[in-house]
Protein backbone atom coordinates (compact mmCIF):
# COMPACT_ATOMS: atom_id res chain seq x y z
CA UNK A 1 0.00 0.00 0.00
CA UNK A 2 1.21 3.49 -0.80
CA UNK A 3 2.26 5.66 2.13
CA UNK A 4 0.50 8.74 0.81
CA UNK A 5 -2.66 8.47 -1.23
CA UNK A 6 -4.54 11.35 -2.78
CA UNK A 7 -7.86 10.54 -4.36
CA UNK A 8 -9.95 12.80 -6.58
CA UNK A 9 -8.71 15.97 -4.89
CA UNK A 10 -10.37 19.26 -5.91
CA UNK A 11 -9.63 22.70 -4.49
CA UNK A 12 -11.41 25.91 -5.39
CA UNK A 13 -10.64 29.52 -4.53
CA UNK A 14 -13.65 31.80 -4.74
CA UNK A 15 -15.30 29.69 -7.39
CA UNK A 16 -12.15 29.20 -9.46
CA UNK A 17 -10.92 25.62 -9.61
CA UNK A 18 -7.27 25.40 -8.58
CA UNK A 19 -7.19 21.61 -8.62
CA UNK A 20 -9.73 19.25 -10.08
CA UNK A 21 -9.82 15.52 -9.54
CA UNK A 22 -6.13 14.99 -8.81
CA UNK A 23 -5.14 11.52 -7.66
CA UNK A 24 -1.71 10.18 -6.84
CA UNK A 25 0.00 7.56 -4.71
CA UNK A 26 3.49 7.75 -3.29
CA UNK A 27 5.29 4.76 -1.79
CA UNK A 28 7.82 4.84 0.99
CA UNK A 29 11.38 5.03 -0.23
CA UNK A 30 10.68 6.86 -3.48
CA UNK A 31 11.18 10.37 -4.82
CA UNK A 32 8.01 11.66 -6.41
CA UNK A 33 8.16 14.89 -8.41
CA UNK A 34 5.32 17.25 -9.26
CA UNK A 35 5.99 19.55 -12.19
CA UNK A 36 3.95 21.88 -14.32
CA UNK A 37 3.83 25.45 -15.56
CA UNK A 38 3.22 28.39 -13.23
CA UNK A 39 -0.31 28.37 -11.88
CA UNK A 40 -0.75 24.68 -12.56
CA UNK A 41 -1.66 24.07 -8.91
CA UNK A 42 1.55 22.46 -7.66
CA UNK A 43 1.86 24.45 -4.45
CA UNK A 44 -1.89 24.19 -3.88
CA UNK A 45 -1.53 20.43 -4.04
CA UNK A 46 1.24 20.50 -1.41
CA UNK A 47 -0.80 22.84 0.76
CA UNK A 48 -3.82 20.58 0.57
CA UNK A 49 -1.80 17.50 1.48
CA UNK A 50 -0.20 19.31 4.42
CA UNK A 51 -3.56 20.66 5.61
CA UNK A 52 -3.13 24.36 4.82
CA UNK A 53 -5.91 24.40 2.24
CA UNK A 54 -9.22 22.66 2.72
CA UNK A 55 -10.21 20.67 -0.35
CA UNK A 56 -13.68 20.97 -1.82
CA UNK A 57 -13.75 17.23 -2.44
CA UNK A 58 -11.48 14.22 -2.44
CA UNK A 59 -9.63 12.30 0.26
CA UNK A 60 -6.06 12.28 1.48
CA UNK A 61 -4.66 9.32 3.40
CA UNK A 62 -1.35 8.84 5.14
CA UNK A 63 -0.51 5.21 5.79
CA UNK A 64 -4.20 4.38 5.38
CA UNK A 65 -5.36 7.02 7.87
CA UNK A 66 -7.65 9.73 6.53
CA UNK A 67 -6.03 13.13 7.15
CA UNK A 68 -8.21 15.25 4.86
CA UNK A 69 -9.83 17.24 7.65
CA UNK A 70 -6.89 17.51 10.03
CA UNK A 71 -5.16 20.77 10.88
CA UNK A 72 -1.57 21.25 9.64
CA UNK A 73 0.03 20.51 13.00
CA UNK A 74 -2.00 17.33 13.39
CA UNK A 75 -0.94 16.17 9.94
CA UNK A 76 2.65 17.03 10.79
CA UNK A 77 2.34 14.72 13.78
CA UNK A 78 1.50 11.88 11.41
CA UNK A 79 5.13 12.03 10.34
CA UNK A 80 4.87 14.59 7.57
CA UNK A 81 7.22 17.54 7.18
CA UNK A 82 7.26 20.26 4.56
CA UNK A 83 9.31 23.22 3.43
CA UNK A 84 7.96 26.47 2.05
CA UNK A 85 8.55 28.08 -1.30
CA UNK A 86 9.42 31.43 0.29
CA UNK A 87 11.34 29.88 3.14
CA UNK A 88 9.91 28.84 6.46
CA UNK A 89 12.86 29.47 8.76
CA UNK A 90 12.56 31.70 11.80
CA UNK A 91 14.88 34.56 10.99
CA UNK A 92 15.08 36.03 14.48
CA UNK A 93 16.17 32.74 16.03
CA UNK A 94 19.65 31.33 15.84
CA UNK A 95 20.42 28.32 13.67
CA UNK A 96 20.58 26.15 16.76
CA UNK A 97 17.21 27.36 18.01
CA UNK A 98 15.61 26.67 14.65
CA UNK A 99 16.77 23.07 14.85
CA UNK A 100 15.80 22.86 18.53
CA UNK A 101 12.16 23.54 17.69
CA UNK A 102 12.26 20.33 15.68
CA UNK A 103 14.00 18.40 18.45
CA UNK A 104 11.66 19.73 21.17
CA UNK A 105 8.84 17.81 19.70
CA UNK A 106 9.87 14.60 21.42
CA UNK A 107 10.54 16.19 24.81
CA UNK A 108 8.39 15.20 27.76
CA UNK A 109 8.50 17.58 30.68
CA UNK A 110 6.04 19.02 33.14
CA UNK A 111 5.20 22.68 33.70
CA UNK A 112 6.61 22.82 37.22
CA UNK A 113 9.79 21.19 36.01
CA UNK A 114 10.24 23.80 33.33
CA UNK A 115 9.41 26.68 35.68
CA UNK A 116 11.82 25.82 38.41
CA UNK A 117 14.42 23.84 36.56
CA UNK A 118 14.11 20.42 38.15
CA UNK A 119 16.89 18.04 37.24
CA UNK A 120 15.02 15.90 34.76
CA UNK A 121 14.02 18.90 32.66
CA UNK A 122 17.47 20.41 32.77
CA UNK A 123 18.72 17.11 31.40
CA UNK A 124 16.03 17.06 28.73
CA UNK A 125 17.07 20.52 27.62
CA UNK A 126 20.75 19.60 27.57
CA UNK A 127 20.01 16.46 25.61
CA UNK A 128 17.97 18.43 23.08
CA UNK A 129 20.79 20.91 22.56
CA UNK A 130 23.31 18.11 22.11
CA UNK A 131 21.08 16.42 19.56
CA UNK A 132 20.55 19.66 17.66
CA UNK A 133 24.29 20.28 17.55
CA UNK A 134 24.88 16.80 16.19
CA UNK A 135 22.30 17.38 13.47
CA UNK A 136 23.96 20.65 12.50
CA UNK A 137 27.35 19.03 12.40
CA UNK A 138 26.06 16.33 10.04
CA UNK A 139 24.55 19.02 7.77
CA UNK A 140 27.86 20.87 7.65
CA UNK A 141 26.51 23.84 9.60
CA UNK A 142 28.56 23.40 12.74
CA UNK A 143 30.39 26.72 12.55
CA UNK A 144 27.33 28.94 12.30
CA UNK A 145 24.98 27.51 14.90
CA UNK A 146 24.81 30.64 17.03
CA UNK A 147 24.25 33.03 14.12
CA UNK A 148 20.85 34.54 13.51
CA UNK A 149 19.24 32.82 10.56
CA UNK A 150 18.18 36.03 8.85
CA UNK A 151 21.85 37.06 8.57
CA UNK A 152 22.66 33.97 6.49
CA UNK A 153 22.60 33.46 2.74
CA UNK A 154 19.46 32.21 1.03
CA UNK A 155 21.15 28.90 0.21
CA UNK A 156 22.13 28.36 3.85
CA UNK A 157 18.61 29.18 4.99
CA UNK A 158 17.33 26.53 2.61
CA UNK A 159 19.71 23.93 4.02
CA UNK A 160 18.64 24.85 7.54
CA UNK A 161 14.99 24.54 6.64
CA UNK A 162 15.48 21.09 5.15
CA UNK A 163 17.66 19.98 8.07
CA UNK A 164 14.99 21.14 10.48
CA UNK A 165 12.35 19.20 8.59
CA UNK A 166 14.47 16.06 8.84
CA UNK A 167 15.07 16.26 12.59
CA UNK A 168 12.30 13.92 13.59
CA UNK A 169 12.87 11.57 10.64
CA UNK A 170 9.61 12.20 8.80
CA UNK A 171 7.96 9.43 6.84
CA UNK A 172 6.87 11.92 4.22
CA UNK A 173 8.79 15.00 3.18
CA UNK A 174 7.22 17.69 0.98
CA UNK A 175 9.64 20.11 -0.65
CA UNK A 176 8.37 23.22 -2.42
CA UNK A 177 10.94 24.30 -5.01
CA UNK A 178 13.98 23.53 -2.88
CA UNK A 179 16.43 24.23 -5.72
CA UNK A 180 15.48 27.86 -6.25
CA UNK A 181 18.46 30.10 -5.64
CA UNK A 182 20.90 27.23 -5.28
CA UNK A 183 24.13 27.02 -7.28
CA UNK A 184 24.83 24.14 -9.67
CA UNK A 185 26.93 22.29 -7.10
CA UNK A 186 24.43 22.89 -4.32
CA UNK A 187 21.74 21.43 -6.57
CA UNK A 188 23.74 18.29 -7.12
CA UNK A 189 24.28 17.99 -3.39
CA UNK A 190 20.55 18.40 -2.81
CA UNK A 191 19.79 15.72 -5.41
CA UNK A 192 22.17 13.28 -3.76
CA UNK A 193 20.66 14.03 -0.37
CA UNK A 194 17.13 13.38 -1.60
CA UNK A 195 18.17 10.04 -3.09
CA UNK A 196 19.83 9.10 0.20
CA UNK A 197 16.66 9.99 2.08
CA UNK A 198 14.58 7.81 -0.18
CA UNK A 199 17.09 5.02 0.37
CA UNK A 200 16.38 5.27 4.10
CA UNK A 201 12.66 4.80 3.43
CA UNK A 202 11.32 8.37 3.34
CA UNK A 203 8.71 9.26 0.75
CA UNK A 204 10.05 12.48 -0.81
CA UNK A 205 7.63 14.65 -2.73
CA UNK A 206 9.22 17.39 -4.71
CA UNK A 207 7.64 20.36 -6.43
CA UNK A 208 10.27 21.74 -8.73
CA UNK A 209 10.88 23.92 -11.74
CA UNK A 210 14.37 22.69 -12.46
CA UNK A 211 13.62 19.88 -14.90
CA UNK A 212 17.15 18.43 -14.91
CA UNK A 213 17.03 17.87 -11.17
CA UNK A 214 13.60 16.29 -11.38
CA UNK A 215 14.59 13.91 -14.15
CA UNK A 216 17.79 12.92 -12.37
CA UNK A 217 16.39 12.09 -8.94
CA UNK A 218 12.74 11.13 -9.34
CA UNK A 219 11.27 7.67 -9.41
CA UNK A 220 7.96 8.98 -10.70
CA UNK A 221 6.80 12.29 -12.08
CA UNK A 222 3.35 13.88 -12.07
CA UNK A 223 2.67 16.66 -14.56
CA UNK A 224 -0.01 19.16 -13.60
CA UNK A 225 -1.58 21.63 -15.97
CA UNK A 226 -4.42 24.01 -15.07
CA UNK A 227 -5.16 22.01 -11.96
CA UNK A 228 -5.46 18.69 -13.72
CA UNK A 229 -3.17 15.70 -14.12
CA UNK A 230 -1.67 15.81 -17.58
CA UNK A 231 0.55 12.77 -17.23
CA UNK A 232 2.03 10.49 -14.60
CA UNK A 233 4.81 7.94 -14.86
CA UNK A 234 8.54 7.35 -14.73
CA UNK A 235 10.72 10.24 -15.93
CA UNK A 236 11.23 8.45 -19.24
CA UNK A 237 7.52 7.90 -19.80
CA UNK A 238 6.73 11.50 -18.99
CA UNK A 239 9.48 12.84 -21.18
CA UNK A 240 8.06 10.83 -24.08
CA UNK A 241 4.46 11.87 -23.51
CA UNK A 242 3.22 13.93 -26.45
CA UNK A 243 0.79 16.02 -24.41
CA UNK A 244 3.51 16.90 -21.92
CA UNK A 245 5.94 17.87 -24.62
CA UNK A 246 3.24 20.00 -26.18
CA UNK A 247 2.13 21.75 -23.00
CA UNK A 248 5.25 22.07 -21.01
CA UNK A 249 8.59 20.56 -21.86
CA UNK A 250 8.42 21.66 -25.47
CA UNK A 251 8.21 25.29 -24.59
CA UNK A 252 10.81 25.10 -21.85
- CA–CA gap between residue 205 and residue 244 (Å, rounded): 20
Sign of CA pseudo-dihedral 241, 243, 244, 248: positive
Q: Which of 7/97 has CB closer to other proteins?
A: 97
CB of 109 to other proteins, least distance (A): 8
Per CB under 8 A, contacts with other proteins among 148-167 are: 148, 164-165
Binding mask 45-74 for other proteins (x = CB under 8 A): -----xxx-x----------------xxxx
**Residue 110 binding other proteins, by CB under 8 A:** no
The one among 38, 64, 116, 252 contacting other proteins by CB under 8 A? 116
- CA–CA gap between residue 164 and residue 97 (Å, rounded): 10
SS3 154: helix
Backbone angles phi, psi at 205, to 5 degrees: -115, 125
Contact 208, 194 (CB under 8 A): no
CB of 216 to other proteins, least distance (A): 26
- CA–CA gap between residue 250 and residue 252 (Å, rounded): 6
Question: Which residues contribute to the site for other proteins (CB under 8 A)?
Answer: 50-52, 54, 71-74, 76-77, 81-84, 88-93, 97, 100-102, 104-105, 107, 109, 114-117, 121, 125, 128, 148, 164-165, 168
Amino acid sequence: MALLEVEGLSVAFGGLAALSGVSLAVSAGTVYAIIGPNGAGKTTLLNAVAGYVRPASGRIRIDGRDTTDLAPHAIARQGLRRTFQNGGVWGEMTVLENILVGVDHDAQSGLLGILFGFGRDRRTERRAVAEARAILARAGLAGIEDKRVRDLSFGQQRVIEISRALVSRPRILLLDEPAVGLSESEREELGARLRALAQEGTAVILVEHVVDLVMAVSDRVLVLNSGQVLAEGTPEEVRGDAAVVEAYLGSA
